[in-house]
Chains A and B, each alone.
Chain A
Amino acid sequence: MGNRIIEIEMEQLSDEKLMEIIGNQKDSRGMRALDYLYKRYSKPMHNFFYFTLNNDNAKAEDFLHDLFLKILEKNSRFDSAQSFKSWVYRVATNMCKNHFRTYQVVKKYNQHIIKNTSEISEELNSVANIKDAINNLESDYRSLIVLRFKMNLSIKEIAQVYECPEGTVKSRLFYATKELSKQVKQNEL
Chain B
Amino acid sequence: MKANENIEKVYELVELFDFEELSEHDQFMVLAVISEVEYCAMRFSIKETQLYFAQEDLPTLKATSFVRVPRPNVLLRFLKQPIPLYKVAASILVMVGLFAGYEMIKPKQNKFFASAQNITTAMKRDTVFVNILDTLEIIKERIVYVERIECAQMAQVKPSESKSVLDCDKEMCPKEIEMLKNLACNNKIGNDTVLRQCLKYLN
Contact = CB atoms under 8 A, between A and B. Distances in A.
Interface of A: 34-35, 38-39, 42-43, 46-47, 50-51, 55, 57, 60-61, 64-65, 68-69, 72, 126-127, 129-131, 133-134, 145, 149-150, 167, 170-171, 173-174, 177-178, 180-181, 184-185
A34 B68 CA distance: 11
A72 B42 contact: no
Q: Which of A35, A65, A130 has the most CB of B within 10 A?
A: A130
Interface string B5-38: 1011011101000000000000000000010001
Given A35-B66, A177-B42, A134 B59 contact: no
Interface of B: 4-5, 7-8, 10-12, 14, 34, 38, 41-42, 44-46, 48-53, 55-56, 58-63, 65-66, 68-69
Contacts, number: 93
A72 B7 contact: no
Contact of A184 (B8, B44, B55): B44
Q: Which of A34, A127, A134, A181 has the most CB of B within 10 A?
A: A181
Main secondary structure of the interface of A (DSSP, over half): helix
A66 to B, nearest CB: 10
Contacts of A149: 46, 49-50, 53
15 contacts: A38-B66, A47-B58, A51-B56, A57-B60, A127-B48, A130-B51, A131-B56, A134-B49, A149-B46, A150-B53, A171-B8, A177-B11, A180-B45, A184-B41, A184-B48
Contacts of A69: 68
A80 B195 CA distance: 93
A170 B11 contact: yes
Given A130-B45, A174-B14, 14 more contacts: A39-B65, A42-B61, A61-B61, A65-B66, A69-B68, A127-B51, A129-B48, A133-B45, A134-B52, A170-B8, A177-B11, A177-B42, A177-B46, A178-B34
